[in-house]
Amino acid sequence: MPSRPVTAEMPEANYLIGHPDGRYYRLLMRCFYERSLNHASYVRTDELVDFVRQYLPYDEATCRQHLDQMEKWGLIILIPEQSKPANLMELRQKPRVYQASRIALRLEALRAEMEQEEGAASLDPAALDLLVQRVRELVAFIERDGLHRDGAAPDAHRLWVGVYESFSAFSRRVREYLEDLPRHRPREVLDYAAFRAYRDLLVPYLQEYARRLFDRREQMRVLLRTVAQSRELLATTAAAVEAQQVRADGSRPDFERQKQRFLREIGALIEYFGDQGDVDVLLERAQAWVSEITRHARRLSEQHLGGSVREQTLLDLARRFCDCTSLEQAEGLAQVVFAATLPLHWRGESPPPSDQPPWKAEPVTVPLQAVRRGQRPRTPQQVTADRSHERLQRMLEAAEERKRAARELAQLFGEAGELDLGDLTVREPRQRQLLLHLLYKSLSQQGPVGVGYRNWSVSAEVKADAPLGRLTAADGTATLPHVLLRLHKGGPR
């Protein structure tokens, strides 16, 4: 049978792409597929009608129209009637017998497989171990000079077919699992308790698989060096065995075509586990996914704990309102409430100065603006850059950025490493935002918090019954009790 060109049309797939009667065609093809699983290749029209009627209203006249169209598409073949009918009425009423084509059954089998695997993707670590074991068996066969022994060609063919089947199953499972992960959309989950259970289950699973894959990658690279040295001889031996099998079936083999196919398969396996191969990309994706889940869990944890801390802070401020003896104290507490409820990524311009006390002046509307980091401009690359060099440059730039931020933080805290937020003036609004962020984070975690540089950390200490203070910046002031922030440059984080 001549092979179909790549550019040729495929009418067998017409029933899958938006046909008005597509649901009937799909049910008819599913009936052919399920009968083929029971080794029943021939299906009568009455059996097809009964199958479709389980799902939708259907009649025999519509069924015949659909079958005629499916026959034109090449999905089914009409089996000629062997017995001679007595009259024309018997010919019309007698059920026809059809057989599905091979490509139609393969399309339907693929659809059924995809439907079953939509919610059950798994990595299956045993598939990786089986691949390594079969590659070891092939390498041991090659090292025993098995490719040069007489009569050992069938063994070489059997070993390579087993290796490639294991490789196909392993790579397909990994690809399907990583493609299935974003479908859960973890960043849209806002329930901290539910997401924590998801994180505790998935993160150790991915980390363990990534560790196993990293170890097996190094083993495979060593083993595949022997396979690469004997690539040509292995492909020739396997192609000769297949050509002999095709010749035994009475067909004419194409030795060069089979040899090129085996060379492509061997090259695909070597490139998959080679430097900058697909296995490295899979490791990066798994690690990136673990980092994404961990970061989102940390954000939810900070929101969960920070919300309770802010609520407790507001309750404490409400009790202090009851003890206020003057309007000045009430106005100061109002500023603290505003600073505690305003998100840290918003800022606004301070109102103009006034000679009147705040409680006597008219209310002033202060517009707030979101502070967001802009995207870096992307320049089109003329050539393919070295990924390892780019990764190194990004690491060096990130390290320099952390050092710069640490130097600014050290200058802000001074030699003593201590700041009193009750009486402090900072130069820039972002420094005020940073100090407030460190304060709320330290209160929510009830301990020191890291600043992203080495093992430096910042802790907060609130003095009991301290008078109100004022943290001043270019974008306004915030009245706070005397809170001490301490910068620690050593010890556990």
Q: Which residues contact 14 (CB under 8 A, 6 or more apart)?
A: 73
Q: How far is the C-alpha of 29 from the C-alpha of 51, rounded, in Å?
A: 11
Q: Is residue 441 within 8 Å of residue 491, measured between CB atoms?
A: no
Question: How do the domains of the chain map onto residue ranges?
Answer: 11-112, 119-291, 343-349+392-493
- Give the E-state strand segments of 346-405 in sequence order: 346-348, 368-370
Per-residue confidence (pLDDT) for residue 243, from 0 to 100: 82
- The one-letter amino acid code at 300 reads L
DSSP at 20: T
- The one-letter amino acid code at 301 reads S
Q: Is residue 123 within 8 Å of residue 207, measured between CB atoms?
A: no
Find where tokens 């802010």 sit.
310
Find where tokens 């363990």 sit.
208
Q: How far is the C-alpha of 431 from the C-alpha of 412, rounded, in Å?
A: 9
- Give the E-state strand segments of 4-106 in sequence order: 42-44, 76-78, 97-100
DSSP codes, 209-261: HHHHHHHHHHHHHHHHHHHHHTHHHHHHHHHHHHHHHHHHTTPPP-HHHHHHH
The model's pLDDT over 127-148, given as tens digits with 9 standing for 90+, comes to: 888 888 999 999 898 888 878 8
CA 431 and chain centroid, separation: 36
Per-residue confidence (pLDDT) for residue 492, from 0 to 100: 43
Per-residue confidence (pLDDT) for residue 239, from 0 to 100: 85
Per-residue confidence (pLDDT) for residue 351, from 0 to 100: 65
What are the two backbone dihedrals, phi and then psi, of residue 69, each rounded to the nearest 5 degrees? Answer: -65, -40
What are the two backbone dihedrals, phi and then psi, of residue 423, each rounded to the nearest 5 degrees? Answer: -150, 85
Per-residue confidence (pLDDT) for residue 378, from 0 to 100: 54
What residues in the chain have per-residue pLDDT under 50? 1, 375-376, 383, 492-493
Per-residue confidence (pLDDT) for residue 53, from 0 to 100: 92
SS3 call for 359: coil
Q: Is residue 489 within 8 Å of residue 459, measured between CB atoms?
A: no
As beta bridge partners, residue 100 has 76
Long-range contacts of 202-207 (CB under 8 A, 24+ apart): 202/293, 203/290, 203/293, 203/294, 205/123, 206/286, 206/289, 206/290, 207/290
As beta bridge partners, residue 78 has 98
Answer CATH for 11-112 from 3.50.50.60, 1.10.3470.10, 1.25.40.20, 1.10.10.10: 1.10.10.10
- The one-letter amino acid code at 173 reads R
- The one-letter amino acid code at 418 reads E
Q: What is the dihedral of CA 295, 301, 306, 312, to 10 degrees?
A: 180
The Cβ of residue 40 has, within 10 Å, a number of other Cβ atoms equal to: 11
Q: Please report which helix (H) or strand (E) contains residue 39, including its range.
A: none
The model's pLDDT over 242-284, given as tens digits with 9 standing for 90+, comes to: 888 777 767 777 888 888 888 898 888 888 888 777 888 778 8
Q: How far is the C-alpha of 470 from the C-alpha of 294, rounded, in Å?
A: 36
Q: How far is CA 407 from CA 403, 410, 439, 490, in A?
A: 6, 5, 19, 15
First CA to last CA across the chain, in angstroms?
Answer: 71
Q: Which of 427, 426, 418, 428 is nearest to 483 (CA)?
A: 418
The Cβ of residue 332 has, within 10 Å, a number of other Cβ atoms equal to: 22
- Six-digit token pair at 163? 């290796």
Q: How are beta strands 418-420 and 76-78 bridged, if at all? A: unpaired
Find where tokens 């704990």 sit.
305
Per-residue confidence (pLDDT) for residue 1, from 0 to 100: 46
Q: Which residues contact 48 (CB under 8 A, 6 or more apart)?
A: 28, 31, 63, 67, 98
